[in-house]
Structure 1
Amino acid sequence: MRARPPVPRKALVKFKSVMDVELVQQLAADEMVCMAARVSTIGNTPQTYTREKNAGLINFLMRDRHGSPFEHGSFTFRISAPIFVCREFMRHRAGMSYNEESGRYRELEPVFYVPPGNRPLVQVGRAGKYDFQPGTFRQDLVAGEALRMAYTEAWTQYQTMLGEGIAREVARTVLPVGTYSTFYVTCNPRSLMHFLSLRTKSDGATYKSFPQVEIQMVADQMEEHFKTHMPMTHDTFVKHGRVAP
């Protein structure tokens, strides 16, 4: 007699409106940028430079877009976000390395994204030239209720399929893109600046970007870590219009 498949765990559906970004390791510093840049002129000769000298060099490198010295370093983030954010994030390939949890090999968690109350809901204008405006009270209510109902039903059907012994890689197809996933991304400072130039919205940017709210929620947290560990590089990045060198 064929054994019955294990009964999947019955977990309560959870709803979140935030993105989780954790810096799990980093090896990046303004001084390393300067060391990498100066090796072309001083070779292996050890020298000491003041903070002002280093700041001036970084400013020169950023202004004239000498980018390779900014590639010597790394940041590794663990990010938990809805699947649609993960997919948009992974369009960034140069200088980025990824590993993501797999719905083929583990039962996914019942955590789903519901936009926060201040998230603009109404698109105004044509494609390529549009903006978003706040929704009405009713639109906020409808969006939240529709998402919660859809998520709950999707999770119920996911559990039903697992309970019947259907493979996880098949059962997962019923889950929506609002399901949270977790991935690691490792990038160097140069690739991080390129990501930030496209996924944050700033009036001071030379080239205006209009990212989706949810990926900007991730990018804003990553930028805070960048600013903490490489303050001179971050300052010059902002000063020169948020253009990656």
Structure 2
Amino acid sequence: MPLSPEQQADIDDQRAESHQTLRATVPGMEARLYRAHEVLDHGLVRVIDYMGDDAAITQAARVSYGRGTKSVQNDEGLIRYLMRHWHSTPFEMCEIKLHVKLPVFVARQWIRHRTANVNEYSARYSVLDREFYIPAPEHLAAQSSINNQGRGAVLEGDEAARVLETLKSDADRAYDHYESMLSQDGQQGLARELARMNLPANVYTQWYWKVDLHNLFHFLRLRADPHAQYEIRVYADVICEIVKDWVPLAYAAFEEYRLGGAQLSATAVAVVKRMIAGETVTQETSGLTKREWGELMGVVG
């Protein structure tokens, strides 16, 4: 399980405390504060703190003339306009801080988004837990034959069993060696900062991750995409549900124009116009590469 009894008790204590505030709060986020949302076999995501709401976005956008005439409809329309035209600064007025527990190889993908504040669990100071990500059988897949970054058919039978056993035994053996190198029983023991180097990339780490809404949307646009690696996508999916409770108007606009939308090149737009005009366009006459043509056909059918 992602949480130990002691960690759950700490969360219960945090949720039992209540503080009066004059700042904007969101009921959906208040309900989520400190709660752990389980991800993968040992991972979690939980909200530690947040700042701002949908109104903070429109307030920033309207700063030149104050509140003016406003209503829910006006707020929604303004937020959709900002999202549609790629305005970023108003969305930066909202921030969220998450506690995330995740496998190291997922963390190394995640950290490529360099627009957040991160403080990670230190294996120089502390001993890592014996927790490793072991994929469920349905997520054990062969290398894709058409995508160098993706997966192909799911492994089955003896091959799947062999791979699972290898993953488990390698992780256990590495941790046994990690513990023995740290041991103080009659020996000096290796420094933690050196002993950790023998651990595999599926060991779990954790961090506090603070990011503004604009950069969070960029993260979600890439990592909640169906083509993203499964192990990071499930974290993005959980965060999407959290953001939906936090800033529902902004999330709806994000879903409309980013997650559910498509961006076309100038050549692709010209191809679509030719098709609308009744011209029969093929890949050979389109001016697009085979891959670009395939992506366009995926959008327009």
TM-score (norm 2): 0.68
| Alignment counterpart, residue 93 of structure 2, candidates 72, 94, 103 | 72
Pair 1:130–1:213, CA change in 2 (3 A): closer
**Cα shift readout 1:16-55 (whole Å, capped 9, x = no counterpart):** 6253111111113111100000112x1xx44452111100
Counterpart of 2:238 in structure 1: which amino acid? Answer: Q
Structure 1 position 146, deviation (Å): 0.7
State whether structure 2 residue 136 is matched by structure 1 residue 116. Answer: yes
| Displacement of 1:140 | 2.6
Aligned to 1:6: none
Letter in 2 for 1:195: F
CA distance in 1, matches of 2:149, 2:105: 22
Say whether the 8 Å CA contact 1:28–1:189 is kept in structure 2. no
Superposed counterparts of 1:1-245, under 5 Å? 17-40=41-64, 42=65, 45-47=66-68, 49-94=70-115, 96-128=116-148, 130-163=150-183, 164=187, 165-202=189-226, 210-242=227-259
Higher mean Cα deviation, 53-62 or 116-125? 116-125
* SS in structure 1 at match of 2:210: strand
Three-state SS of the structure 1 residue aligned to 2:132 is strand
| Contact 1:120/1:132, CA 8 A, preserved across alignment | no
What whole-Å deviation, never above 9, does each CA across 1:183-228 have from its counterpart, x for those lacking one? 11000110000000111124xxxxxxx2111111111111111111
Q: Distance in 2 between matches of 1:166 and 1:177?
A: 20
Alignment root-mean-square deviation, CA = 1.7
**Paired residue type of 1:103:** A
Counterparts of 2:150 and 2:108 in 1: how far apart (Å)?
Answer: 22
Tell which deviates more after alignment, 46-55 or 230-239.
46-55
Residue aligned with 2:253, SS: helix
The CA distance in 2 between the partners of 1:34 and 1:46, in whole Å, is: 9
Q: Distance in 2 between matches of 1:240 and 1:104?
A: 43
Query: 1:92, CA displacement in angstroms?
Result: 0.3
Query: Structure 2 vs 1, CA of residues 129 and 85 (structure 1 numbering), >3 Å: closer, same or farther?
Result: closer
Q: Which has the higher helix share?
A: 2
Judge conservation of contact 2:140–2:160 (CA < 8 Å) in 1: no
Residues 120-174 of structure 1 show CA distances to partners (whole Å, capped at 9, x for unaligned) of 4122224457543322133331222111100111011111111141111111111
| Structure number with higher relative contact order (C-alpha < 8 Å, ≥ 6 residues apart) | 1
Using the alignment, how far apart are the partners of 2:136 and 2:52 within structure 1? 33
C-alpha distance in 1 between matches for 2:179 and 2:98: 30
How has the CA–CA distance of structure 1 residues 198 and 155 changed in structure 2, closer, same or farther, with 3 Å as cutoff?
same
Number of residues of Structure 1 aligned to a counterpart in Structure 2 = 217
Unpaired runs of 5+ residues, structure 1, are: 1-15, 203-209
